[in-house]
Amino acid sequence: MAEQIDFPEELISFINEWKVKPGSLIMILHKTQETFGYISRPAAEKISVLTKIPLARIYGVVSFYHFFKTTQPGKHKISVCLGTACYLKGGGDVLEEARKLLKLAPGAVTEDGLFSIDEVRCVGCCGLAPVMTVDNETYGKITKDKLPEIFANYT
């Protein structure tokens, strides 16, 4: 039998409101990911039951859009911008160094569950390139040597 998951009443109300609207699946998935941090298999199955949308369609959408995660992220979510301005100013080097310092493979979470890193295409702060965010904090004009101090603030 599949693992069960409890959805908060707020999420169930949201799904019930949106499931009758055309194109609602993305909104429902966003709200689910906002609630849990990712979309687990049990969450996808429950969405399928509540909306009567086939599980294969749900996974088709989840796997198509890079934004959706199917594994639990770290407590602190790091995003390194690799948009044009950030990439040209060393965003790739920042990403590589961050992964090296935290001993993280792409898509992984640190052993202590504290950190995960995502590559993003634009943070919207091109004038501060290269840019990295940790949770809701933005760090601009970032260099590799600033990373240990930044990460220390979150341990």
What tokens does 140 get? 């601009």
For the entire predicted model, the pTM comes to 0.75
Sheet holding 76-81, edge to edge: 115-120, 76-81, 132-134, 137-139
Query: Per-residue pLDDT tens for 8-18?
Result: 999 999 999 99
CATH T-level fold of 76-152: Glutaredoxin (3.40.30)
Instruction: Mean pLDDT check: name the lowest of 3-7, 19-23, 44-48, 114-118.
Output: 3-7
The torsion defined by the Cα of 118, 123, 125 and 131, in degrees rounded to 10, comes to 0
The answer to whether 93 touches 142, Cβ cutoff 8 Å, is no
Give dist(CA 91, CA 79) in Å, integer. 11
Query: Per-residue pLDDT tens for 17-69?
Result: 999 998 899 999 999 999 999 999 999 999 999 999 999 999 999 999 888 99
Give strand pairing partners of 139. 132
**Is residue 1's pLDDT more than 60?**
no
Whether omega before 106 lies within 30 degrees of 0, making that bond cis, reads no
φ, ψ dihedrals at 54, nearest 5°: -60, 140
Which residues, 6+ apart, have CB-to-CB distance to 129 below 8 Å? 81, 83, 85, 86, 88, 89, 91, 140, 141
